Structure 1
């Protein structure tokens, strides 16, 4: 990987300029996760429209399954670790992310497994601006509901300002994009390690996700120990939004510092996707409109650091 500094031009810092320098440390990240069925062909098309737009030294990126992972994560305390930013204060952030499991393929063989946070909504502008401009996270603002760390795992919603239907007379307005609702009595089991979740849900992973179990274990092991290998598609448009003045695939590891608790939930959950033309998740990832089961629900409370973004490849 290349060094994060891809240019010798100094970044201009001026009063009121809110971009902080990575890395950042995150305390008490309360993550709830589910698996949602899409279509591998749609996911591959999305990967081709983003990551595979950048010419790599070798190989390409490939979708691994029909399923996406959906997470709601309430991070209690975030701040940069370097000065002067570390002394400026901290903030809370909630991330709602659709993750795509992705393989880097070279000559038909799997070189490395990654997680691609392809769709992200956050609840504050500081997180959005820093995430998009520094790392290349595809972030948008939202309102949301989700349980607190000490509450039962019940219902989750996300509301975005969007054009629900594209038309000359449509005014942007808040709309619920999707939700996850509990459909049966709450039940959960604690685990000492992530590996135990795979033992408990081995048949589900194998029969529902339709992925090789060793691959699934490798993916999830990389999500927690020692870091999440994230792929990012970072681009900046020119003044006419016709060409990119910068376009790259980047890698930013999230390094897990401590896991406080791990739970697998055995309650039933239902995912519901609404039609929103501005965010067509059915086209992006092949997720059907309406309802479907939200499977393999889990909850992890942990601390992690978000490291700088390193350039894997960029288009000149």
Structure 2
């Protein structure tokens, strides 16, 4: 932590940044696990979380599998006056999550497990500004397809307005980054379960991982995946006016406190993921996700209410 006292943040008129925490009602999340590359994922972590170094611990990738979620949040509002009286909004998040272990540098012992929302796309500008400015979420605007609660999930897609390919002549336009399509099956599309965290722990334990962790420990740490708390870790930074140096860099922790789970289940169908090359967001170079089509063998569904708590610094680099 810096020894200099912080300047008070100015919530001036016309500034859309509100104070956390915020509450989320009827958040419909579909999740899938996507095969990546462990070394590429670790490189991404080293270029983000591990840039702000701690003398005591570092962060390591838990698996070569990423979690990809599509979440439609029906109603979001700040819980802090006066912002809580301004109104509410709908938000959809499409997120690539990395399971990350905090590892002691001396004895290589895992001291904590986090979910790192490494890349996020959202559908409204207010969510983007507040997420980036306050929490440090790596957010970008998107267009998307996903089913609502009354539909059998058959198709998901994500498109971004960006440069493709990188050339001096390229004009920014909309490009499809990925698509998920159901492999044909009957209309009975999910099975209810009691402990989603245990299923995810089983899946991650069987997958390739960089740190040695027992299944029992994984299940203990992941028991809070949807109840009562999901621990998120974030890399927050701001550039100087030349985009050369960082005027602020920190690793942040923000828990999602689950208040109520309405429904929970595993998707009974298999899905195919198709990834396209988009130079601005090269998933192969970011996480080792291969271009083309791969089968997704693990899918789940959650409908819940939760609060996103404020972000607290784990490590700060003094500037």
Q: TM-score range by the shorter chain?
A: over 0.9
Match of residue 99 from structure 1: 97
Match of residue 164 from structure 2: 164
Whether the 8 Å contact between 1:57 and 1:313 is mirrored in structure 2 is no
1:7 deviation in Å? 4.5
Match of residue 126 from structure 2: 126
TM-score by length of 2: 0.92
Runs of 5+ consecutive residues of structure 2 not aligned to the other structure: none
1:303 deviation in Å? 0.4
Match of residue 113 from structure 2: 113
Is residue 2:215 matched to residue 1:220?
Answer: no
Match of residue 29 from structure 1: 27
Structure 1 window deviating more from structure 2 (60-69 vs 177-186): it is: 177-186
CA 213–180 in structure 1, closer or farther in 2 if over 3 Å, else same: farther
Number of positions where the alignment pairs a residue of Structure 1 with one of Structure 2: 310
Supply the distance in 2 between the matched residues of 1:7 and 1:132 (Cα, whole angstroms). Answer: 23
1:149 deviation in Å? 1.4
Match of residue 148 from structure 2: 148
SS at match of 1:223: coil
SS at match of 1:130: helix
Supply the distance in 1 between the matched residues of 2:5 and 2:149 (Cα, whole angstroms). Answer: 42
Match of 1:254 among 253, 256, 267: 256
CA 195–249 in structure 1, closer or farther in 2 if over 3 Å, else same: closer
Whether the 8 Å contact between 2:64 and 2:207 is mirrored in structure 1 is no
CA 7–163 in structure 1, closer or farther in 2 if over 3 Å, else same: farther
SS at match of 2:224: helix
Runs of 5+ consecutive residues of structure 1 not aligned to the other structure: none
Supply the distance in 2 between the matched residues of 1:195 and 1:285 (Cα, whole angstroms). Answer: 23
Whether the 8 Å contact between 1:164 and 1:276 is mirrored in structure 2 is yes
Supply the distance in 2 between the matched residues of 1:7 and 1:261 (Cα, whole angstroms). Answer: 45
Supply the distance in 2 between the matched residues of 1:177 and 1:311 (Cα, whole angstroms). Answer: 32
* Per-residue deviation, residues 229-265 of structure 1 (Å, max 9, x unmatched): 1110000000000000000000011100000000111
Match of residue 42 from structure 1: 40
CA 44–19 in structure 1, closer or farther in 2 if over 3 Å, else same: same
* Per-residue deviation, residues 11-37 of structure 1 (Å, max 9, x unmatched): 112211111000000000000000000
Match of residue 139 from structure 1: 139
1:57 deviation in Å? 4.0
Match of residue 84 from structure 2: 86
RMSD over equivalenced CA pairs, Å: 1.9
Whether the 8 Å contact between 2:284 and 2:290 is mirrored in structure 1 is yes
Whether the 8 Å contact between 1:265 and 1:297 is mirrored in structure 2 is yes
TM-score by length of 1: 0.93
1:55 deviation in Å? 1.5
